[in-house]
């Protein structure tokens, strides 16, 4: 693979891009070329880096985010057709409401739906009260992380559910949208988050 075009990145980020690109290339060989995979890995890194509190987890998060984007691209271009509906939950910080809703849908639908979430201004971490409230009902969202929405994921979603992101939420013609009026769990105690 050609990694010559990474010179603008610091050495640790170049290594991250190489490692993640190679791993995803073995997963998507024959579907996407190495340049496409690398572009999504670099894009994912640049989108997640500004809010990353603990950079030691960044390779795992970049890989998950790049995988989501590649899966969405594959649905859009027909190279990875999907027979299951995809749902995108959007809010401002992607740290509470949208993560809890995504957790519920993953729990209820299993592999009968593809679930995405994103935010217009992603936080640096998921709201601990949201994690605790979901754990109380047996749903683990500890491996999730705040991330921005991307055009590929919005376009690949069959349904976009917004929660308080207002004008910042993306609107695409012909897409099914629902707006859920839910309080923001940011700064709320566990009791309030349970209700949300």
Q: Mind listing the pLDDT tens digit for each residue in 35-51?
A: 999 999 999 999 999 98
Task: State the pLDDT confidence band at 8, using cuts at 50, 70 and 90.
Answer: confident
Judge whether 169 counts as a catalytic residue: yes
Burial annotation 60-76 (CB, 10 A radius, 16+ → b, else e): ebbbbbbbbbbbbbbbe
Given 58, 133, 165, 193, which residue is catalytic?
A: 165
Environment class of 52 (CB within 10 Å of its CB; exposed 0-12, middle 13-18, buried 19+)? middle
Task: State the pLDDT confidence band at 80, using cuts at 50, 70 and 90.
Answer: very high
Cβ(69)–Cβ(44) under 8 Å?
A: yes
Given 169, 170, 188, 193, which residue is catalytic?
A: 169
CA distance 30 to 38: 15
Judge whether 91 counts as a catalytic residue: yes
Q: What is the pLDDT of residues 105-135, one digit of tens each?
A: 999 999 999 999 999 999 999 999 999 999 9
pLDDT for the residue numbered 2: 58
CA distance 177 to 110: 22
Higher-scoring residue by pLDDT: 168, 132: 132
Q: What is the pLDDT of residues 169-187, one digit of tens each?
A: 888 888 899 999 999 999 9
pLDDT for the residue numbered 168: 81
Q: Given a cut of 70, is residue 75 above it in pLDDT? A: yes
């Amino acid at each position: 693979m050609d990694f010559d075009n990474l010179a603008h990145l610091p050495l640790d980020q170049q290594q991250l891009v190489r490692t993640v690109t190679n791993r995803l290339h073995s997963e998507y060989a024959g579907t996407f070329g190495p340049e496409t995979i690398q572009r999504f890995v670099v894009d994912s890194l640049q989108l997640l880096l500004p809010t990353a509190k603990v950079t030691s987890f960044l390779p795992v998060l970049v890989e998950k985010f790049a995988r989501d984007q590649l899966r969405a691209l594959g649905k859009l271009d027909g190279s990875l057709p999907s027979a299951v509906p995809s749902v995108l939950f959007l809010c401002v910080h992607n740290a509470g409401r949208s993560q809890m809703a995504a957790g519920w849908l993953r729990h209820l639908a299993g592999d009968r739906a593809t679930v995405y979430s994103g935010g217009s201004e992603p936080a640096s971490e998921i709201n601990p009260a949201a994690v605790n409230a979901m754990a109380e009902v047996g749903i683990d969202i500890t491996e999730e992380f705040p991330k921005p929405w991307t055009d590929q994921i919005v376009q690949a979603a069959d349904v976009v559910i917004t929660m308080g992101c207002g004008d910042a939420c993306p609107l695409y013609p012909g897409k099914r949208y629902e707006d859920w009026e839910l309080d923001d769990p940011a700064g709320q105690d566990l009791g309030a988050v349970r209700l949300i």
